[in-house]
A and B are shown apart, each in its own frame.
Chain A
Amino acid sequence: MNFWEMFYKNKLAMTGCGIVLLLFVVSLLAPVIAPYDPGAIDLKNVLAPPSGQHWFGTDQLGRDVLSRMIWGARISLKVGFVATGLAILIGMILGAVAGYYGGWIDATIMRFVDVMLCFPTFFLILAVIAFLEPSIWNIMIVIGLTGWMGVTRLVRADFISLRERDFVQAARAIGANDTRIIFMHILPNALASILVAATLGIAGAILTESALSFLGIGVQPPTPSWGNILTAGKDNIDIAWWLSLYPGLAILITVVGYNLLGEGIRDATDPRLKR
Chain B
Amino acid sequence: MSTYLIKRVLFMIPLLLGITIICFFVMRLAPGSPTDLQTQMNPKASAEMKERLMSMYELDKPIHVQYWSWLKKLGRGDLGTSFSSDHRPVSDKILERLPITILINFLSLLIIIAVAVPIGVLSAVHQDSLFDKVTAVLVFIGFAVPTFWLALLLMIFFGISLGWLPISGLRSLNYEYLSAWGQLVDLAKHLILPVFISAFGGLAGLSRYMRANMLEVIRQDYILTARAKGLSERQVIYKHALRNALLPAITILGLSIPGLIGGSVIFETIFAIPGMGQLFYMSVMARDYPTVMGILLIGAILTLVGNLIADVSYALADPRIRIS
Contact = CB atoms under 8 A, between A and B. Distances in A.
Interface string A36-69: 0000000000000000000000000000000000
B30 A128 contact: yes
A115 B304 CA distance: 10
A218 B272 CA distance: 20
Interface string B233-265: 000000000000000000000010011011101
Chain B facing A: main interface SS: helix
Contacts of A191: none
B210 interface: no
B19 A244 contact: no
A15 to B, nearest CB: 12
A207 B270 CA distance: 16
A127 B285 CA distance: 9
B146 interface: yes
Interface stretch (B115-123, B189-197, B291-299): B291-299
B263 A244 contact: no
Contact of B156 (A120, A215, A241, A259): A241
Interface stretch (A27-35, A92-100, A247-255): A247-255
Q: Which of A124, A133, A245, A256 has the most CB of B within 10 A?
A: A124
Interface string B273-294: 0000000110011010000100
B160 A130 contact: no
Contact of A124 (B23, B31, B160, B266): B23
Contacts of A122: 259, 262-263, 265-266
B110 interface: no
Given A237-B160, A252-B146, A118 B152 contact: no
A163 interface: no
B95 interface: no
Number of chain B interface residues as a range:
35 or more
B54 interface: no
Contact of A126 (B148, B167, B284, B300): B284
A259 B23 contact: no
Contacts of A119: 19, 258, 299-300, 303
Given A120-B300, A215-B269, A259 B140 contact: yes
A252 B258 contact: no
B258 A256 contact: no
A131 interface: yes
B56 interface: no
A82 interface: no
Interface residues of A, number: 39
Contacts of B299: 119-120, 123
A216 to B, nearest CB: 8
Contacts of B155: 237
A128 B22 CA distance: 11
Contacts of B26: 124, 127-128, 131
Nearest to A206: B146
A126 B287 CA distance: 12
Contact of A251 (B146, B262, B304): B146
B32 A133 contact: yes
A238 interface: yes
B31 A133 contact: yes
Q: Which 5 A-B pairs have the closest CB atoms?
A: A122-B262, A248-B149, A131-B30, A255-B144, A120-B262
23 contacts: A114-B15, A115-B15, A117-B255, A120-B261, A120-B262, A120-B299, A121-B262, A122-B263, A123-B265, A126-B265, A126-B284, A128-B30, A130-B285, A131-B26, A210-B149, A215-B269, A237-B160, A241-B156, A247-B149, A252-B144, A255-B144, A255-B146, A256-B144
Interface of B: 15, 18-19, 22-23, 26-27, 30-32, 140-141, 143-146, 148-150, 152-153, 155-156, 160, 167, 255, 258-259, 261-263, 265-266, 269-270, 280-281, 284-285, 287, 292, 295-296, 299-300, 303-304, 307
Given A118-B15, A131-B284, 16 more contacts: A115-B18, A119-B303, A120-B262, A120-B300, A122-B259, A124-B23, A128-B26, A130-B284, A131-B287, A132-B30, A210-B146, A230-B149, A237-B167, A247-B149, A255-B146, A259-B143
